[in-house]
Structure formats: C-alpha cells, structure tokens
Structure 1
Amino acid sequence: MPAERWDALLERQASPTPFMRHAYLAALHESGSAVAETGWTPRFVDMQRGGETVGACALYLKHHSYGEYVFDWAWADAYRRHGLAYYPKLLAAVPFTPVPGSRLLAADDAARTALAHGLVQLAKESGVSSLHLLYPDEADRAALAAAGWLMREGVQFHWMQDAADPAPDFDTLLARLQREKRKKIQQERRRVAEADVVFEVHEGAAIDEALWDFFHRCYAQTYAEHHSSPYLTRDFFARMAATMPQHWVMFVATREGRRIAASLVAVDSERGGAWGRYWGALEHVPCLHFEACYYQPLAWCLAHGYQRFEGGAQGEHKMARGLMPVRTHSAHWLAHPRFADAVADFLDQERAGVADYVGELQTRSPFKAGA
C-alpha cells in the first residue's frame, strides 16, 4: 500500500500515533527487525469499497509471543498440554511497541465494523488458533466487542497534564507531590548530579549519525547485560533518522566530557504526546535510569507544552514519579470453542482483579490531596 494512502487513512482516526505511520512500520520490516525470520510475517489487510481503500490493518502471522507486551504464554501452554497447536496465530499490533492508539484504520464506523468482522473471517480461513489485537483505542474496542471479540484489560502508567491547573515546569510538578515522594526524587537527582553527570538534549534532525551510533551501542549493551538480544537493528534507527526525525528526542548523559548513557523518547508535537521508548548505559551510575527515562523527559515535556507522557509497559514504580495508572486494552478471538469459553471466564476474573488493582493504586496517589 502506498505510504500516502496509508497515512491519509491513519490521520482520519481518533488516536493516530507515529508508530502506526507507514514509515515506522516499513522501517521495522526493511531493517530486518520485524520479519518472518524473527517471527513476524506481515499479513497486512487492505479493505476496499468500489476500488477505494476504506479500511486497513497491520496484521502479522506469529510463531511466538515475544515483543507483544500482552502476555498469552499461559494460553499457549494450555493448548500444548492438550495436544493442540497455539502457533501460528494472527496478531494485529505494532511490533515491540506497547502504545495505545488506533489499530483499525477505517474511513467510517461501518468500515470499522466490517474490518473487525473481516479479520475474524480471515482467521477462520487461515486455520490459525487465534487472533489478537493489541492496544486499540475506544472506537476500535466498540467495533471489536460488537463483532464478538473477547476484551482484556491491563495497566500502564502515564503522566497527564492537569487541564484545570497545568504545571508550568518540573519544579511545580514536584511541589505537588507528597513530601516523601518529592524528597526521594530530589535525592535521586542529587545522586546523579553529584556523580558529575549532566545531560544534553538533541531533537529531531539535530540527532546526527554519531549520536544514533552511540545510542544504539547503549541500547544493545543494556540488552546484553540482561542476557538478551535487542529487537531493533541499527538500520531501523537509521531509517527513523531518514524518514521520521521530527518524532524523536534523545537525552544523552555525559560525565567528564564522555557520553555514558542515552534515552530515546518519541514525540508528536501536533497532539502533545510523548512516549518513553528505549534507553541504555555504558557505565553504572545510581539512579541514572530514573533521571534519563523519567525526570529529563518530564521536564522537557513541561517546558514544551506537552500534555501526556507515557512511560511504557508495566512498572508500578513509575507512580512514585508522578505517572498514574491507566487501563489498557486488547481484544482476542479463539477458534476452539471450549478454549474460547475458558479464556472468556478467565478474562472476567482478570478484569475484576484489574479493577481492584487500579482502585487500590488510586488510593496511593503520590500527589498531595487537592493537588
């Protein structure tokens, strides 16, 4: 599908993000990051009416569940224990990117409904065990539920600007936190400063090739320390620099003139959204991760008038740093009727557990009463 046609459809959605842009998805494939050899076989859907594209979906045939951040390993294990094959499955998602947003790109509500039903029909014809759609927006969820998909909830932690009383800067935001939370952040930042670490901020096209090289070295080093391999290749970031430079901000930590760490944040200046994505360090400095991945990006968002900063998957520790719990969603269809019933029962129980968990988290808000 031509980039112009895909992106024009994306811009008509309620919750477009840079991660659903044609250039981002193409970079994942062309860089060798999300390809059949790594378990991501593209099966993109182009739904047409009268020769015009009215619906589209980024769909993959998957032979594992890595890089998804909505965990179905227990379901796969149950299939295996009953002598059934869970893989391959079909997955509608942005690889390695747990960011909520529009997934069913549709010209109108009727097209969105048809796309939700059409994906199920495609799954049936493909003979796969199941079909999954991750991190849909509200419009997508309504269409998927109406088409009989099973709905699942999760939790992430996001910072959102107070629309009624916006914080103009990081110090103001800090002042709104409870005393013990504020003191802990101040102590963490002091430890980084006392280690003689300072930060440089590089935006958009100002992130040159040397910076991208350094960032990828840090990114790969952090994966190696966890005895793992990075999902994204150096070529992927080269393609981001070439096709989507305006969507990236890099925070680089230096000590005594040496670059020692970096974090990378995706941004959408038109919609005031920012997403913490990747980080890495070549040297260990206590609390450096918090400074690079939360405090520096939050201060930047406040200084530039951004309204939302999403900290990525999981991480209850983010609450102490001003990011509050937000429910996320996914949708699922399973071909086997008995397994579908079992998963539906499980999701009912899990949903109640998520509601209790979010309620309990909200009683532990890091902000002062009335702040």
Structure 2
Amino acid sequence: MKDPWRRLRRFRRSPRPTGRSGSRTISFAGTLRVGLIDAVEQVGEAAWRALEPPDFPFFDYEFLDALEKSGSVGPGTGWSPVHLVCESEGRLVGIMPLYLKTDSYGEYVFDWEWAHAYHQHGVPYYPKLVAAVPFTPATGPRILVRPDVDREAIVRTLLDAAREVGEENRASSTHALFVPEGDLEDFQERGFAVRHSLQFHWRNRGHASFDDYLETLVSKRRRQISRERRQLAEENLTIERLTGEALEPSHADTMYRFYMATADRKWGSPYLNRAFFREVFSTMKDRLLFVLARDEAGRPIAGTINFYKDAALFGRHWGAVEDRRNLHFELCYYQTIEFAIEREIKLFEAGAQGEHKLARGFLPTLTRSAHELRHPAFRRAIERFVEEEKEYLDQAVEEYSRHDPYKK
C-alpha cells in the first residue's frame, strides 16, 4: 500500500518564499497571496487575533495552538494541519483552517458509508480535506476574514487555494463541517452539496434566573427537572463552577482523569491528551468553564469542561469516576444553563446528538455541512442521498416539535 502521506511531505518540502518555517506560497490572485502552514504559531498570535470570530472560541489562537502543541492533531492522529492563510501587501486578511485526513474520526458528520462505498468500487476515499474544528461539533465560520476587507474576494481566493491543495494531494473530496447557514452560499456557488444534521440547542429567552427559566416549561418538564435536582441534592455533593483565575493546574489533571475514565468505560478512543487540557486550562481561563462535583469527603468525582465567548456557550467533555443518579444532567445541563443565565449568554450548544436534551429545554436544531466530491458518479449519488436525508430530518424535527417542552 502506498504511503498516503508521501505527497503531503513532498508538498511541505517545496520552497517556502514566505520565509516562515513550515509555510509555502501556493497561489496568487491580484494583490492576494495564499500560503499553506502546518501550525498556527507560524502566523503568530497578534496577526491571528485580528481575524478571530466573535461567539466562537474554537478558532481562537490558543485553542488551535493547544491542539497542535499537545500533539492532539498532527502526525499519527489522522488530522494533519494544512491551514491556508491569505495575505495582502504583507497583512493577514483571511484564514481557512484546514486538515488533510486519512479517516473520519472526530468529525461528528458521519461519512463512513461514503468511504465504504468508495472502497467497494476500488476508489480511494482517503485522504480528504476537512474544514472543521477537530473533535468539536460546534457551528461557526469556516473561513475567517478581517472585517475591513473585501470578504467575497478573500473567500473566493481561499476556496480556489483549497481546491489546489486537494488536487495536489489527490484528495477525494473537500468537506466544511458545521457551517453557519449564512455562509453556505460561499460553498454552494462552488458546487458543494449541503447536508443537514440534527442537534439540540438551548436558547436564553431573557431569563432572570433558573427558576424563571423553569416557569417557561410545561408542568411535566418543570416537575421532572426539579425532581432530578432534588434527588441529586440528597447525595450531599459539592458542585463548583470554576472559570478565570479560579482555575488551577490541578483542575486540568482532574478533568483529564474524568475524560479518560469515561473513554475507558465506553470503549472509546480518547482524542485529547493531558497536555491539551493543561494548555487550555492555562491559556483560555477567561473562556473556559469547569463544572466540578466532589463527594462528601471532598474528593473530585465528576466534571465537565465548557468553552464560552461573548454570547455563546459550548459544552464539550464530560467525565466521571463514580456514578450518581442525575449527576450528568446537573453538571452538563442545569449548572451550565444557570451559568448562561447569569452571564446573559444567548446560545448554549451542548454537543452532538441526544434527544434526551429535549425534555430539558434544548430544542431540535438543524446543523449544516458542505461537501464537494470530485468523482462525478459518487458526487451525483451523494447529492441524491443528502436530499433524501434532508426530508427525513425535516420529518424528525416536526415530530420533535410535538413534544416541545415550553409553554405555548
């Protein structure tokens, strides 16, 4: 079997006229120049910061840098960074975080059946290009552009460059995952097919308190949540919400222990390592919420890590070393909803799947991804598939709406 990374390594050994270690200029468009880098540190924090999106912490410099420095992405992980950076007259004006992938792990928009169909017909599906946040099913921009430049030109140039990277590496396809609805047109104009997925999101309706929030629910759901919280209170646990300077290095190690314990119980493959947790607990204190539960003796038994920025909160990882009734609901949903209400955060995305969230105030929400398949026959077949899938999801949303937990 041929080494799938051979072409990428040759690509990276090409001349680097930008002068940055690990970078390479791949195209020009008028005054715009697009380069390829394999680490965000090659851009630098100050330059990257000017393009960071509001309400979305996962393309902040510190988050991607933590993934790369810790080795959670890179050689041997299936996620090889090939970020595209666009400059104009020496100034960074656009970024497309991009990965060359040899599997579909950690994406949460599942295309294993597509890969299987390719394999059955003797056509390689990997490598492929993916514009996404590794291991993070959160909706946010996939192309970052300075607010004071011509966005259309930057997006067009970066998508042209992405196509060139795909062709050079013989990628079967390019995928942009969890794309905001308003950005889909950028991809549709290039022939990308739009696929829908389903998540459950909580939205703040201007609640003054958690009790005020409960009053917006139908009596059945209000009683259910109150009962779950009351039952957990009988366990005599101590629950803390920690953020900012309250976070200590020991908290990172505690959360990593929870994360690994849950991965072991579920026979999962942990994507993140201890170094990643230590890094984000240090560099993203002001955007990280750690909800921690201790038993009667003060021992940590469970926790959840969440990221927030401006008006959005994202639940990411949960773990526990002891099973306590309703503890998952308390830490992952009720404590974080309370935090969102206190901070006047408008949106809380609690992660992928989970129709059990509906009873707790999270409503069904369509998420969107864009897919460009280069093989004509497979492209046509997959385009038909995603259209049929949309009809099924529309019916699912309609069915869930019949169980809306809120008062009419």
Which category of TM-score, normalised to the shorter sequence, fits these structures?
over 0.9
- Aligned partner (choices 4, 10, 18) of residue 52 of structure 2: 10
Q: Distance in 1 between matches of 2:164 and 2:235?
A: 58
- Aligned partner (choices 182, 193, 202) of residue 150 of structure 1: 193
Q: Distance in 1 between matches of 2:73 and 2:153?
A: 31
Q: Distance in 1 between matches of 2:404 and 2:140?
A: 26
3-state SS of 2:278 partner: helix
- 1:79 maps onto 2:118 in alignment: yes
Determine the structure 2 residue equivalent to 1:330.
Answer: 369
Q: Distance in 2 between matches of 1:113 and 1:326?
A: 29
CA contact (8 A) 1:113 1:144 kept: no
Q: What are the within-5 Å matches in structure 2 for residues 14-163 of structure 1?
A: 17-107=56-146, 108-162=151-205
* 1:56 aligned partner, one-letter code: I
* 2:273 aligned partner, one-letter code: T
* 1:265 aligned partner, one-letter code: N
- Aligned partner (choices 357, 361, 365) of residue 318 of structure 1: 357
CA contact (8 A) 1:252 1:261 kept: yes
Determine the structure 2 residue equivalent to 1:173.
Answer: 213
Q: Distance in 1 between matches of 2:261 and 2:104?
A: 23
Displacement after TM superposition at 1:241 (Å): 2.3
CA contact (8 A) 1:16 1:102 kept: no
Q: Distance in 1 between matches of 2:71 and 2:293?
A: 29
- 1:341 maps onto 2:380 in alignment: yes
Q: How many percent identity over aligned positions?
A: 39
* 1:221 aligned partner, one-letter code: A
CA deviations 1:181-214 (Å, max 9, x no partner) are: 1111122112211111231121122111122211
Determine the structure 2 residue equivalent to 1:234.
Answer: 274
* 2:360 aligned partner, one-letter code: R
- 1:198 maps onto 2:238 in alignment: yes
3-state SS of 1:361 partner: helix
TM-score (normalizing by structure 2): 0.85
CA deviations 1:123-170 (Å, max 9, x no partner) are: 2232111111111223431111111111111111111112xxx21111
Q: Distance in 1 between matches of 2:278 and 2:47?
A: 24
Displacement after TM superposition at 1:115 (Å): 2.2
3-state SS of 1:9 partner: coil
Listed as ranges, the gaps of 5+ residues in structure 2 are: 1-42
CA contact (8 A) 2:314 2:349 kept: yes
Determine the structure 1 residue equivalent to 2:261.
Answer: 221
3-state SS of 1:36 partner: coil
Count of aligned residue pairs for this structure pair: 361
Determine the structure 2 residue equivalent to 1:284.
Answer: 323
3-state SS of 1:70 partner: coil
Q: Distance in 1 between matches of 2:108 and 2:336?
A: 22
* 1:211 aligned partner, one-letter code: H
3-state SS of 1:38 partner: coil
Displacement after TM superposition at 1:119 (Å): 1.8
Q: Distance in 2 between matches of 1:359 and 1:319?
A: 13
TM-score (normalizing by structure 1): 0.94
Which one has more relative contact order, counting CA pairs under 8 Å at least 6 apart? 1
Q: Distance in 1 between matches of 2:180 and 2:333?
A: 25
- 1:212 maps onto 2:255 in alignment: no
CA deviations 1:82-121 (Å, max 9, x no partner) are: 1111111111111001110111112412211332333223
Q: Distance in 2 between matches of 1:9 and 1:285?
A: 43
CA contact (8 A) 2:141 2:183 kept: yes
Q: Distance in 2 between matches of 1:94 and 1:259?
A: 29
* 2:171 aligned partner, one-letter code: V
CA contact (8 A) 2:55 2:312 kept: no
3-state SS of 2:303 partner: strand
CA RMSD of aligned residues (A): 1.5
- 1:250 maps onto 2:290 in alignment: yes
3-state SS of 1:182 partner: helix
CA contact (8 A) 1:170 1:302 kept: yes
Q: Distance in 2 between matches of 1:206 and 1:228?
A: 31
Q: Distance in 1 between matches of 2:221 and 2:47?
A: 48
Listed as ranges, the gaps of 5+ residues in structure 1 are: none
Q: Distance in 2 between matches of 1:185 and 1:2?
A: 46
CA contact (8 A) 1:272 1:307 kept: yes
Displacement after TM superposition at 1:56 (Å): 1.4
Displacement after TM superposition at 1:9 (Å): 1.8
CA deviations 1:288-317 (Å, max 9, x no partner) are: 100110011111211222211111111111
CA contact (8 A) 1:113 1:147 kept: no
CA contact (8 A) 2:55 2:311 kept: no
- 1:367 maps onto 2:406 in alignment: yes
CA contact (8 A) 2:181 2:368 kept: no
Which stretch of structure 1 is more off in the superposition, 100-109 or 340-349?
100-109
Q: Distance in 2 between matches of 1:323 and 1:308?
A: 10
* 2:269 aligned partner, one-letter code: S
* 2:177 aligned partner, one-letter code: L
3-state SS of 2:52 partner: helix
Determine the structure 1 residue equivalent to 2:390.
Answer: 351
